[in-house]
Structure 1
Amino acid sequence: MRVLVVGASGFLGGEVCRRTVGAGWSVVGTCHSGDITAPGVEVRRLDVTDRAAVRALVTQVRPDAVVSTPYRYDDWRVTADGAAHVAVAAAEVGARLVHVSSDALHGGRPTPYADDEPPTPVNAYGAAKAAAETAVRAVDPGAALVRTSLILGEGSKQIQLCRDALAGRVTLFTDMIRCPVDVTDLADAVLELVDGTYAGPLNVAGADAVSRAELGLLVAERFGLDATGLTTTTSAAAGLAGPGDVRLDCSRAAGLLRTRLRGVGELLAR
């Protein structure tokens, strides 16, 4: 199988490349300004906001499957328009599409979100991720849409954020609840979907729901760091417009996939 990973210089994209190469598949990875460190990957430069360039590259590569991971938190063109461009190009060559989405498209509530629930974004990034899903589903109803959460692992921005908080450089929120997932678990789940036929949204996240503040304490315990310097607040007190309590019900993924989606308690256990 020939797989095109769009956004291969990113944290998840790079891990998808490594796992795909390990599976013995041919891998082409795209990047814009970063570097692709995964060995065995054919590297191509690509600006996903350039619709003609996306179509030209996909037509040239002619992949059997496309994994679409690029996003930029403050750029609608990358997150929303870029996803649409990739979906159109993949459909034109008949490639299987796995689009990586986010729990950020939900507004937050005390009860978990099911896979098929419609987006309820409350900030610009969430709206961009919701628009991306809408475009992908309109272009290719057979595409898999992976709704995931905070991604952990060696080199994770989320772990570094917790380290910064423990050092007193930033503050963590007690009311921002997520279901962190390990990058290797997520990448393996994506590969299963690449090689399958599942269509539509699928929640793929960790088994444990924790606040960012609780995640900080788990990181402190895991790495033997002093937690006394950790400061916390609420997103409301900080004036942050964003989703609060976003728990994903991943029971469908647990029944569908061979990959076990470990909870953060297990991931960070000493």
Structure 2
Amino acid sequence: MRVLVVGASGFLGGEVCRRAGSAGWSVVGTCHCGEITVAGVAARRLDVTDRSAVRALVAEVRPDAVVSTPYRYDDWTVTADGAAYVAVAAAEVGARLVHVSSDALHAGRPDPYADDDPPTPVNAYGAAKAAAETAVRAVDPGAALVRTSLILGEGSKQIQLSRDALAGRATLFTDHVRCPVDVTDLADAVLELVENAYAGPLNVAGPDAVSRAELGLLVAERFDLDAAGLTTTTSAAAGQAGPGEVRLDCTRAAGLLRTRLRGVRELLTPS
């Protein structure tokens, strides 16, 4: 299997490369500004907003599959247009496409979101992720669209944010609820999807729904940190628009995939 990982210098993209390489796959990874540190990966520079460059690279590599992970929170062209360009290029060479999406395209509600629930974005980033999905599905109806949540693991931004809040250097929202997933579980799920024919959106996240503040408390317990200094607020008090409670129903993924998606409480229980 020859796989092209677009966004291989990112947290998830790097783990996908690592685990694909361990499985004996031939891996080409792209990056824009960062560096690819995974051994055995053929690294290539790529600006996903350059449509011609994307098409040229994919045509040169001719992968069996493309895993598309790049995004930039405040850049529509990277998150939405880049996803469309990757989809077009993958389709032109007949490659299987697994596009990584986000729970950020939902508005938030108390009830869990099913895999096929349509996007209801409430901020620019959510709208960009929704637009990316729309483009990918129009170009390649057979592509898998992985809707995931907060990604945890060694070196993750989410763990560091919790550490910062425990030290009084950041603030965690009590009203933002998500379903965190371990980066290794998510990478394994993505690689499973490379090898099957699943098409359309698929929720791939952990089974535990927690607020960002609750996540901070779990991090404090896991790393034996003082929880008394945890700084919290609400998104309304902070004046930040965005999804509130976003729970993903991952029943379909549990039945489809061999990979067990562990919950945050299992992941962060002190050993």
TM-score by length of 1: 1.00
Deviation at 1:233, TM superposition (A): 1.0
Distance 2:157 2:237 in 1: 24
Where does structure 1 differ by over 4 angstroms across 4 or more consecutive aligned residues?
Answer: none
Q: Which runs of 5+ in 1 are unaligned?
A: none
* Whole-angstrom CA distance in 2 between matches of 1:107 and 1:237: 18
Letter in 1 for 2:67: V
Aligned pairs (5 A) from 1:194-233: 194-233=194-233
Q: Which residue of 2 aligns with 1:51?
A: 51
**CA-to-aligned-CA distance 1:105-163 (integer Å, 9 cap, x gap):** 00000000000000000000000000000000000000000000000000000000000
1:59-74 to 2 correspondence within 5 Å?
59-74=59-74
Query: How far off is 1:168 after superposition?
Result: 0.3
Aligned partners of 2:231 and 2:3: how far apart in 1?
44
The equivalent of 1:42 in structure 2 is 42
Matches within 5 A, 1:1-270: 1-270=1-270
Unaligned runs of 5+ in 2: none
Distance in 1 between residues matched to 2:58 and 2:102, nearest whole Å = 24
Q: Deviation at 1:80?
A: 0.1
1:45-70 Cα distance to aligned partner (Å, 9 max, x none): 00000000000000000000000000
Q: Deviations over 1:7-50 (max 9, x none)?
A: 00000000000000011110000000100011110000000000
* One-letter amino acid of the counterpart of residue 207, structure 1: P
Residue 188 of structure 1 aligns with an amino acid whose one-letter code is D
Q: What's the offset of the Cα at 1:85?
A: 0.2
TM-score relative to the length of structure 2: 0.99
Number of paired residues? Answer: 270
- 1:231: Cα distance to partner? 1.6
Counterparts of 1:204 and 1:230, CA distance in 2:
29
Q: Which amino acid aligns with 2:140?
A: D
Q: Percent identity?
A: 88
